[in-house]
Every structure is written in structure tokens, then in C-alpha cells.
A and B are shown apart, each in its own frame.
Chain A
Amino acid sequence: MNDMRIAERVVDSMESKITARGVQVFYGQNHALKDVDVDILDKTVTAFIGPSGCGKSTFLRCLNRMNDTIDGCVVKGSIKIDSEDIYDPKVDPVQLRAKVGMVFQKPNPFPKSIYDNVAYGPKIHGLTRNKAELDEVVETSLRRAALWNEAKDRLKSPGTGLSGGQQQRLCIARAIATSPEVLLMDEPCSALDPIATAQIEELIDELRSQFSVVIVTHSMQQAARVSQRTAFFHLGYLVEFGETGQIFTNPKDPRTESYITGRIG
């Protein structure tokens, strides 16, 4: 495994998948996110970096309306996925979350078997007509999450019995089993060791061929390794957004430069 590898910077598509304009988020009195404009491209990995509490996870959770589950959270502005406003009252957040999958910071497999973990999404959305189709979905999802070889002989054993890195790949398999269009990842490697991290990063790069991936990370190396676009958040503002190579080698904003060189954050 080559940890010094750098992801392909060339993007496959210049089509915007998600368009956010003037997004403001309040937690009660706390103004957590201020006036954020972002265009996230299809079939591209976009990394959000920034110090703790800068609003990057908050923004990520706006993209599939997970913030709805938090009491006293108010979102203003417009976020469009495929030019449909996801905060429109007509949009069902439950349907939206099936389209925008999410992987969390800490691996959170359900206390069920590996098979049931992956089959959970397809089952609740009725994506398959029979057991054979479901088996197939489970297998392809596990294969795409690079877990099939390790898990195929123990599909009936509990997902919580896997190692940390395997659990996180199981959560990725679970997320892609509902065939989402966008995959959100909230610091997916922060609870993992370097080897598991490298596996997940490789996986992210492969997933880019089907989905648009948005990843929040604390590791600037990781952002540099996996992403084509990078957004730098600071104190609730989107400071700079652009091509990853440019952000890391030739940032325009002095704050971005300070953060990248380790002077703030």
C-alpha cells in the first residue's frame, strides 16, 4: 500500500450534483454556519477540512437533513440536489436519505448479522422482489465495499463482531446497498488504524466512479490523498473552495494557508 499516493485530480464530470446557496444554520442561539455557497460535482470526491467546530460536519448533515433530528436546529438558504430543493416542504426527508447515504465517524453496525446489516436498506425501501435479488444486492454491496472476501463465510454472524476497519466497511456497504446518488462520510477513518484507513481511502477512490462522495476529515493528508475538490471551513464560514491541488499548494486566502501549514486550527 502506498500511502504517498495522490488521487487522480482530473474530474470525470463537470456537472453539479449539489448546489448550496446562502446556507445558514442555527442551533438555538448559536449561529453555526454562515452564508455557505458550494457546488459539489457529480462523480467527484469533495473533502471538507477545517478545525473542530468550524461547521463542516453541520454542513454535511444538512445535505441529507440529518439535522432535522436535532432539537432547535434551523436551516436557511437553499440546497438543491439535481436542481430539486431538498428543504422544500414537498420533499420527504426519509426518501431523501435513501438517495443521500451517510457513513458516520464511529462505525455503527446494527446489532444484527452482517447480511441483515446490508439488507436493511433494501428491505425497508422494498428495492428487491425476492430473496435471490436481495442476496445479489448484499453480495455486490459487500464486494464494492471490499468486504466480501472477509465476510462471505460469516454472513450470519453479528456485524458487531468484526474489527473496527471491517465494521466501517460494513457501514459503507450498508450505505451503498440502497444505491444512493451521493455518499456523505463524516470523518470515516478517525476511529481506525492506518491500515484500515488506507483500505477505506482506496475504497473511496473506487466509489467515485458511481457516486458523488463528500468526506469530512481532520487529516489534511487524507484530503489531499482522496479528493479532487476541497473546501476549507473556519468559524462557520466557507473560506475557500477549489481544486484540491490548488488549495494545498497555492491557497488564495491567508487563513487557508495558515491552517494548512499548521499555524491555526
Chain B
Amino acid sequence: MSAGLLSLTVLAVAIAGYILGRRRAVSVAGGDARKLHSLPSYHGQSVFLFTAVPAFVLMIFWLLAQPVYIENRVTALIPNIEADDAAARELAMADVRRVASGLDLAIAQGALRQADLDTLQAGATDLRGKLAGVGVALGADVSQYTFEAAREYRALKGSLGIGMALAVLAAAAVGFVFARSRISVAFRARNVSESFVIAMLIGASLVAVLTTFGIIFSLVFETWHFFELYPARDFFFSTTWSPRFGGGSSLGILPLLWGTLYVSVIALLVAVPIGLLSAIYLSEYASRRFRTFVKPLIEILAGIPTIVYGLFALITVGPLLRDWFAQPMGLGNSSSSVMTAGIVMGIMVIPFVSSLSDDIINAVPQSMRDGSLGLGATPSETIRKVVLPAALPGVVGAILLAASRAIGETMIVVMGAGAAARLSMNPFEAMTTVTVKIVSQLTGDTEFGSPETLVAFALGLTLFIITLGLNVIALAIVRKYREQYE
């Protein structure tokens, strides 16, 4: 029984449980629902939850554990693999899985019979030809042990699948019977379903937190691998970045970090003044009608796909800067430059600054403005000395959000600033950023064992730590300077 069908069955049982539980609650009370502690629907709900939730949780864990178990059992059947050669083992297992799914297909199409399979010898029959006949092409003839492993794989998968179906259905049934037997006039079904809801909410937030930890863990793990192959000192302090997949590459992060910071700083220099000033205009001076009209227009900027910004950088801004600024000033003749990417990226993050700051400035109580205006301050004095200091934490938060968007941006950089890793002060020269290099190291035919590939994880982790550090510093600054109203 497949997982999908099984879920539907459990769901059907749970819905039946709801209806039956509700009905039983009413009949226990002698037809008068007012005698019950909880409304009949809560009794139904508790039966539903007790039937469905444990069964689904069991199913999820089973589905997670099953492949690991099968893998362990089947790997043992493959003889000539050194226990610690992960790559060879992975390769052999891929073969086994492919043959197994080929056999499945062959049986389903009638090219093979289940009964024949047990007596079949891989050497005696042309298994490769048979599988090719049903559309599964294999790279080499199937060896006897691969075939046996595949057979074992299929058998285990089949029996475990049935086992799972039985266990899940049993869990659903037990839950159903247990919950139904608890129904009585005094049973606090309302409180039970309330605590169930709390448990589900906790579960949901745990998933989010655990995912974050999972991401960090995988990054740290691969980074560790990288530093075993490549000296950390060279990575952090070398000023050249020239990966060669033939070996002998030099993987210094400094040019990439420099590019990232340079582009982001230019982006923020564009976005923060424009965004903040427009937020101040919109929230303090503009009429209500103008504001409701213009604010969504600015927010549209955030909805444009970054690749479109990239095109804008490549076709319009880049040549414009080259022809009007870089060449006349003798600063180079490249149309991809840090300036191009920075300016376009700045335009992209304007709405992050303006829209959030606008909301935050609006949240400053009117009584603050009245107090300042009542003392004879002009509107702009009021904004500078009272409103902005009170809104500071939120404004810094908005800027941080924009900064992390800018640091993580890839597409605009590729198209605007190019892909050449370089350490230079000239803003009209092509440079590149950490994210762009992560992409270029991981795309194409690569194996996950060389430092040239694994460096991507080290880059990712470094970037992550830098943005985390920025956040921490900004929070500390805000805490020191914030002016808290109430």
C-alpha cells in the first residue's frame, strides 16, 4: 500500500472517528448536549486527533527510518567494497537501486514474472537486455551480487511497506478505540483538543528551528571537509582567487569578500537615503490620498524578479556608466562594474527600507509630534529630533534587512559586475561577490570531493557568519541608542 493511499485511509478513519465520537457523546448524554462538559464537536475532534496524529507521526518516522535500514542491510550483501570508501559504496548502491527499479518495471510490464525472479541467475539470462527492453538502460552487465542485492532490496522494501501499512493502521485503530472509550459526560474533550493544538503549534515552530540548525550543521560539516583538504590560512588570507579543477588552485576569500562588501555598501548608499527620505515624506508630509497611491507603486520595485534588474544593469546602466563616467574620467572601459551592480541593487532594496521605515515612523505616537510642534518646533525639527530617534530601532532593522538582501544577491552581480575576482578600489572595474562564486563552483560537472567544490560551503558559512555578526552588532547599537516611548 503506497504512502498516499495509506494517508487517505487514515484520514477517512479519522473523519469517521469524528462523526462517531460526536454521535457517541450525544448519546452518552442521553440526547441532551447541555449535560456534557464539552460541546459534542469537541468530543468528535478529540477522537479525530487521537486517530490521525499518532498514525501520521508514526508514518513519517517510518518513512524516514526505512531507507537507512534497507541501505544498511543491502550494503552488507555487496562484497568487494572497502568499508570506508564512501564514493564506491554510493556508486554500487546506485546500481542496486537502478536494477531494483528496473525489475519493478519489468514485472509491471509483464517481461518478467515474480516467481521466476527467485530462481533467476544474473549470468545465465541477459538481464541487461531484458531491462533495456522495458526502457531501463544499464551501463554494464548486471553482476550476480548486484542482482542479489537488488532482489533483497525489493523484498525488504515490499515487506517493510506492508509492515508500515499495518503498523500505521493499527496505530489509528488504537487511537480511535482509546479516544472513543474515554467519551463520557464529564470528559474534558475541550481541554484535550486545546492541549493537542498547543502541541501541534510547538511542533511547527520546532520544525523551523531544527531546519535552521540542520542547514548550519551541513555547512559546518562540509566546511570541515574543505579545511582538511585546503589550509584555512590560505583560504582566509590569500588575496588571489583562481580555482583550477586540475589542481593547484588558489582559493583566497579576500577578493570575494571585498567585492561583496563593496557592492553592498554602494547599494546601501543608494537605497538608505532614497528609501528613508521617501518614507519620511510619505509618512509625515504626503496627503493620505497620495500615500495610498504611491506606497504600492514603490513596493512594486520589490516584486520585480532580480533577473530583470540584471538585464537593466547589463543593457542600460552598465553602458551608461561606462560612456558617461568611466571612460571620460579614465577609470576603465568595462561595462560591468561594481558601480553598476551596486546602483541597480540599491534600487531593488529601496522598498525594503522605505516601506518598513514608513510603517515604523507611522507607529510613533501622534502625541510625540504634538508635543514637539506645541513647543514651536518645525515639522522637520520634529522629525529629526523626536520622531526618528523614537523610530530608530525599526529603521535600523529595515536597513539591516536591506543589507542582508544586498549581501545575498547573486543575479544582479553576475549581470552587472561580472565574475572576475579582483581586489581593487576602482568602482568602475568588474568584480564579483561570494554568492556568485558559490554558484559557479557548484554548477557544471563536479564531484563533491575536491577543494574546488567544497570551498563553496566554506564561502557560504563565512557569509552566514558575517551577516549574523552584522545583525548582532546592529542590535547592540540599537539597544544603546534607542529612545523608547512607553
B-binding residues in A (CB < 8 A): 64, 66, 69, 71, 94-99, 101-102, 104, 106, 108-112, 120-121, 124-125, 158, 160, 171, 174-175, 178
Contacts and interface: CB of A to CB of B under 8 A. Distances in A.
B477 interface: no
Given A66-B370, A104-B367, A104-B371, A94 B376 contact: yes
B142 to A, nearest CB: 76
A66 B374 contact: yes
Contacts of A120: 372, 375, 377, 385
Contact of B389 (A106, A112, A175): A112
Contacts of B367: 104, 106, 108
B372 to A, nearest CB: 7
A108 to B, nearest CB: 4
A110 B368 contact: yes
Interface string B364-394: 0101111111111110010001100110000
Nearest to A68: B373
B371 A97 contact: no
B374 A158 contact: no
Contacts of A175: 374-375
Interface of B: 287-288, 365, 367-378, 381, 385-386, 389-390, 483-486
Nearest to B386: A110
A111 B389 contact: yes
Contacts of B375: 97-98, 101-102, 120-121, 124, 174-175, 178
B374 A102 contact: yes
Contacts, number: 76
A160 B389 CA distance: 14
Nearest to B370: A104
A183 to B, nearest CB: 11
B307 to A, nearest CB: 42
Most B CB within 10 A of own CB, among A64, A98, A104, A124:
A124
Nearest to A175: B375
Given A110-B483, A111-B483, A124 B374 contact: no
Given A111-B390, A120-B385, A124-B385, A104 B484 contact: no
A97 B376 contact: yes
A66 B382 CA distance: 14
Given A71-B287, A120-B385, A124-B385, A110 B377 contact: no
B392 to A, nearest CB: 10
A98 B373 CA distance: 9
Given A64-B374, A108-B370, A158 B288 contact: no
B385 A108 contact: no
B362 to A, nearest CB: 15
Contacts of A99: 376
A196 B367 CA distance: 21
Contacts of A121: 375-377
Contacts of A109: 371
Nearest to A102: B374
Nearest to B288: A71
B373 A69 contact: yes
5 contacts: A98-B376, A108-B365, A108-B367, A111-B484, A124-B376
